[in-house]
Structure 1
């Protein structure tokens, strides 16, 4: 009897172990499947006030604001809600990135040609990992140029630079990324005209190239005779001090040129707080953009300094910011309290960004 009992006991233990292993394996497979799907995004709001200029916005247009994109509304204002859904398979995947609110509308200003997509599609693309070294992406994706991006959670400063604002935001087309080695990468792209993301309106195309080395990137965009050369990079000078760099030159093929450089020193004072400065010099020709002056055939430049603090409280980021824009010419963007153009604008901003 003892022998039979022991045999049954062993069998039961073996069966139980098999069941447990199977259950764990099934749970692991479910977890692996669940991890392929992702859902993330941000919500951002802010308060902004000019310190030496008018703070009204008749008709929804501010009388005085920096000549760069986003975060230009007076008083308590909305940024955007950003919702990103993605699927990451072993070889293929997709990203659907939707934006709602003033920041999102400004970011995709040239996209909503058809009401079916409206002011919501920021990115929409699929990709194929052809091999460990080659990835093909097709669809609508944010630009590969520049240090800053559309999402406020990925930028250190809440307001954006002139280099970012004058450059492209998004492209629609096909790009190929090549991992040439552990340090070198290459990207080649053929795309619709810059920021026209829903369709090709005129049968013309833009071409992109990016060469990367250890986190430093040299970018080239050629678009119907115009071109932009851009360098984006950064260095960890110590465990707590980082220096970001962005420089660009744009030749508009007779429609105006611009050039500039921006430095981003950032110091982490603790695990939850970092302070950073963006110093930027930017120049344009023919006043074709946002600096502006009285001479329509002249050149203009601006020096902008932005001091930002970034405090992290769980998934919430609080960013107080002081910004000073000083232009070479009186600007229609820098109106004083009597609505007269002036050469400088100082402003304060307090932003809250929740990321999930």
Structure 2
């Protein structure tokens, strides 16, 4: 009898133990499904000195587009303040990426005027989108998201160089739309999507753009991105009728971690524009205009807290399709070299980036062209076809 009671007691303990384990598993799953919040961001400021000593203290040149963000010289300037809020579960996540400051305005210019006029809070939205993980291989994204085109991004902590390339300046910044990404494996994926167009919260016409990206990882440490967008960015005519314009950019971005300390990258792009681009007229009135360029990147980690990197870029806008033009409103081309140091401090939270950059533009060769070059001198005359800047950026990330 005692043996039966003892056996029954053991069975009851085992049953309760299993029930408790099952309850723990269910509780753990429920806790995981509740999701997790994340909060991150950064602030950056910089000083830029221009060796041409332009009277206006501007780095922008005759075109007004020679730099993306570091536009002022001879002063300490605030760059951008970013706050990024994330919420994720096993099946979905959402990103609310807000940006403030001078560089936020420049990088989000299509949202300057919102539904209620100037000063709209839409200007603060750098990104706002959700991801639905429909399966282990397929993810659907909808909202406003940063462009897939190009090598560099708006976020200063992510780029090795502080100043941004002409390829970045003349490519898309962001899109509003829907896209789907299918991962064939961890070495290959394909993204396709439909967007309003380029850099515009509100579409300027009824046409929609098609975007795509093919990602490949051919070898360990090597990543390849083949990107594209095809759209009609032409404004409707004065009668409100659709204009048959065409805009396209095809882009290659690839990186390779050669060794633990040595890194190389490449960005090459070609673009085409027919008719106007959201009201901006190319120089050619018939047919298509094109632009393009290539940028080479490398950096080397000298110590755990200091790295040195260089970027060489050639950008061609001789057709005048984009805003980078010379004093005579003609198309131009530029060779640019940038040397940047990266110093990591405060346990990696603080990045200090000293930088030298030289931009050399095609010289205007014509009778009486002495004062119609790309850059301004100390007297306010445009006598320089090149400019050299030295700067120091401070970026704190959290």
Smaller-chain TM-score bracket: 0.7 to 0.9
Match of 1:260 in 2: 293
- The residue number in structure 1 matching 2:236 is none
Rounded to whole Å, the distance in 2 between the matches of 1:309 and 1:55 is 28
Q: Check the 8 A contact 1:178/1:187 in 2, yes or no.
A: yes
2:150 counterpart residue number: 146
**Aligned pair partner of 2:361 in 327, 330, 334:** 327
Relative distance call for 1:34 and 1:343 in structure 2 (3 A) is farther
How far, CA to CA, are the matches of 2:59 and 2:260 in structure 1? 41
CA distance in 1, matches of 2:341, 2:195: 37
The equivalent residue for 1:4 is none
Give how far 1:203 is off. 1.3
What do residues 100-152 of structure 1 show as CA deviations (whole Å, max 9, x unaligned)? 00011100001233154342110011110010110000000000010000111
- 2:325 matched to which residue of 1? 292
Gap runs ≥5 in structure 1: 1-13
User: Which protein is richer in strand relative to its size?
Assistant: 1
Following superposition, the deviation at residue 219 of structure 1 comes to: 0.7
Equivalent residue, structure 1, for 2:194:
190
**What is the CA distance between 1:295 and its match in structure 2?**
4.6
Q: Which residues in structure 2 correspond to 1:35-54 (within 5 Å)?
A: 36-54=36-54
Matched ranges for 1:244-259 at <5 A: 244-254=265-275, 255=282, 256-259=289-292
Distance 1:28 1:319 in 2: 44
- Name the CA shift for 1:81/1:31 in 2 (closer, same or farther; >3 Å): farther
Which residue number corresponds to residue 315 of structure 2? 282
> How many angstroms apart in 2 are the aligned matches of 1:270 and 1:334?
37
Residue aligned with 2:274, SS? coil
Structure 2: gaps spanning 5 or more residues: 1-13, 218-222, 233-245, 276-281, 283-288, 365-371
* Secondary structure, aligned partner of 2:157: helix
Identify if the C-alpha distance between structure 1 residues 333 and 77 changes in structure 2 by more than 3 Å, giving closer, same or farther: farther
Find 2:132's aligned residue among 104, 116, 128. Answer: 128
- Alignment partner of 1:98 is 2:131: no
Which runs of structure 2 are paired with 1:73-112 in the superposition (5 Å)?
73-74=72-73, 75-112=75-112
What residue is the counterpart of 2:343 in the other structure?
A: 311
Shift of 1:294: 4.5
What's the counterpart of residue 385 of structure 2? 343
- Aligned-partner Cα distance in 1 for 2:256–2:315: 22
Q: Structure 2 length as normaliser, TM-score?
A: 0.78
Distance 2:342 2:314 in 1: 23
Query: Match for 2:248 among 191, 214, 227?
Result: 227
Aligned CA distance change for structure 1 residues 89 and 52 (closer, same or farther; 3 Å): same
Q: CA RMSD in A?
A: 2.7
Compared CA separation, residues 192 and 124, structure 1 to 2 (3 A)? same
**Contact 2:295 2:314 survives alignment (8 Å):** yes
| Alignment of structure 1 residues 190-229 onto 2, 5 Å | 190-197=194-201, 199-214=202-217, 215-224=223-232, 225-229=246-250
Rounded Cα–Cα distance in structure 1 between residues aligned with 2:310 and 2:30: 45
Runs of 4+ in 1 over 6 A off after TM superposition: 24-31
